[in-house]
Amino acid sequence: GEDVCLNHLLNSPGNFTASKLAWVKANEPHIYEQCDKIMLPGDYIAMMLTDAITSSNSGLSEGIFWDFQANEVSADVMDYYGFDDNLIPEIKPVFSNHGEVTSEIAQRLGLKAGIPVTYKAGDQPNNALSLDVLEPGEIAATAGTSGVVYAVSDQVSYDPQSRINSFAHVNHQLTEETTRIGILLCINGTGILNRWVKENFGNNLNYVEMNQLAAQAPIGSNGLLVMPFGNGAERLLNNRILGASFQNLNFNIHSRSHIFRAAQEGIAFSLHYGFELMQANGVIPKVIRAGNANMFLSDIFSNALVNVTNTPVELYDTDGAKGAALGAGFGVGIYSSPKEAMSKLTKLKVIEPNAAQVAEYQAVYEGWKSILEK
């Protein structure tokens, strides 16, 4: 039922790993009957390296197997789907010894046998770690092919409409008193939209040249608004299939400069719309952190996001691989805490809100939002 799912699992489980396993059980019973243990991708890679099978509260929560009230694997999920408890691997802390590299694998990969695997996490929790997003109010943003906003909260909370997801962050229950929930939303059409306008309106321009043209149009693109949802239904829109659209396009006013700018502004507005859902769920943004890559290479996009959210953006020279290596350093005891492990990240730039532009962007956003919610 809805109440149990949201209060205990923090999510509607329908499109996550537990339900996918239930599909296998119902539709491919000959496969299911051979199962000894279930693993998320990181668990499987670690098993291949070490021959040990483990998981964590963070990993299991991403599969919607974790009961946050009971602080254990959900008996409700296991009973409802008819899963045997023995399918669940040994559960260990995120930062701990999940096994050592075997001699065979060490020889094949040119590594030293016995190296411990001391950290594993899903892509977005790990991206957040790599950006030192560990405390309430800190937000990690990515804007590549799709866009993700990942915020940290100290409250076990959920969205009543399941438009955003809540998982155990990598440092959840690092101590008994530490509650750290990662709250995630995904926009399917960020870099995809930017590439689409480049391919269809760019006439062989590169992205730098396209951004230079976009800068020639004013904030708000003279009334042109873009809905960036052309890559499928969005959970933050309650699965309405809205598609992408250009609103208020005027052949006498608008050029491709306006189209380039409006597309990037529409992407920033869609992320801000998700921010508002997060704020309704108790997230109070203090800072947005991102890698200096993808859409964040565009000043148009970065400034639009900073000013419409009225939240500074810090850009770092980091990526998920570097973050994972540092996380493993904490897991093996080189660092005393994840915060210390991330303490020497290189901050490249800070973009602060501009008071005049905040008001201008937020006025444009309200018009964009009114179209979205019609």
Q: What angle in degrees, to the nearest 10, is found between the helix axes of 123-130 and 320-332?
A: 80
Query: What stretches of the chain adopt beta strand conformation (E)?
Result: 54-55, 66-67, 72-73, 90-91, 138-143, 147-153, 165-168, 181-187, 225-229, 243-247, 287-291, 313-316, 347-351
CATH code assigned at 349: 3.30.420.40
Integer CA distances (angstroms), 76 to 11, 63, 80, 85, 322, in order: 14, 14, 6, 12, 37
Task: Give the per-residue pLDDT at 284.
Answer: 85
- Considering the domain architecture, whether residues 212 and 262 belong to the same structural domain is answered as yes
| Cα–Cα distance, 274 to 150 (Å, whole number) | 10
Per the CB < 8 A criterion, the answer to whether 274 and 236 are in contact is: yes
| pLDDT reported for residue 63 | 95
114 part of a folded domain: no
Nearest to 37 by CA among 101, 91, 80: 91
Question: Domain ends where: 79, 109, 139?
Answer: 109
CA distance 307 to 357: 6
Residues 369 and 290 in one domain: yes
Residues 173 and 320 in one domain: yes
One domain for residues 184 and 313:
yes
- Residues 68 and 126 reside in one and the same domain: no
Last residue of a domain, one of 109, 133, 154: 109
Give 42-97 as a DSSP string: HHHHHHHHHS--EE-HHHHHHTT-EETTTTEE-HHHHHHHT--GGGSPEE--SSS-
Report yes or no: 361 and 311 within 8 Å, Cβ to Cβ.
Answer: no
Measured between alpha carbons, how far apart are the two ends of the chain, in Å? Answer: 30
pLDDT score, position 89: 97
CB 250 within 8 A of CB 349: no
Q: What are phi and psi of 311, to 5 degrees?
A: -135, 130
pLDDT at 68: 97
Q: What's the total number of domains in the chain?
A: 2
Q: What's the pLDDT score for residue 157?
A: 85
φ/ψ of 186, rounded to 5, equals -130, 135
pLDDT at 189 (0 to 100): 86
Starting at the edge strand that comes first in sequence, how are the strands of the sheet with 287-291 ordered?
165-168, 181-187, 147-153, 138-143, 287-291, 313-316, 347-351
Q: Are residues 81 and 162 in the same domain?
A: no
> The domain containing residue 66 runs over which residues?
2-109
In a domain, residue 26? The reply is yes
Give 85-128 pLDDT, tens digit per residue. Answer: 999 999 999 999 999 999 999 999 999 999 999 999 999 999 99
154 shares its domain with 255: yes
Say what the pLDDT of residue 176 is. 84
- CA 193/CA 65 separation, integer angstroms: 34
For 100, which DSSP code? B
The rounded distance, in Å, linking the Cα atoms of 280 and 272 is 12
- Asked if 56 and 94 touch (Cβ cutoff 8 Å), the reply is yes
**Claim to verify: residue 129 and residue 105 sit in the same structural domain:** no
* Residue numbers in the chain where pLDDT is lower than 50: none
| pLDDT at position 321 | 94
pLDDT score recorded for residue 294: 92
Residue 49 is which amino acid?
L
Look at residues 58, 78, 109 and tell me which one is the last residue of a structural domain: 109
| Range list of H helices, 88-190 | 103-109, 123-130
Structure tokens at 319: 């990526």
Distance CA 269, CA 265 (A): 6
Residue with token string 């200096």:
292
Residue 312 token pair: 């500074």
Which pair of structure tokens corresponds to residue 291? 């890698």
* Cβ atoms of residues 138 and 180 within 8 Å: no
Answer yes or no: is 116 within a domain: no
Q: What is the pLDDT of residue 14?
A: 87
**pLDDT for position 234:** 80
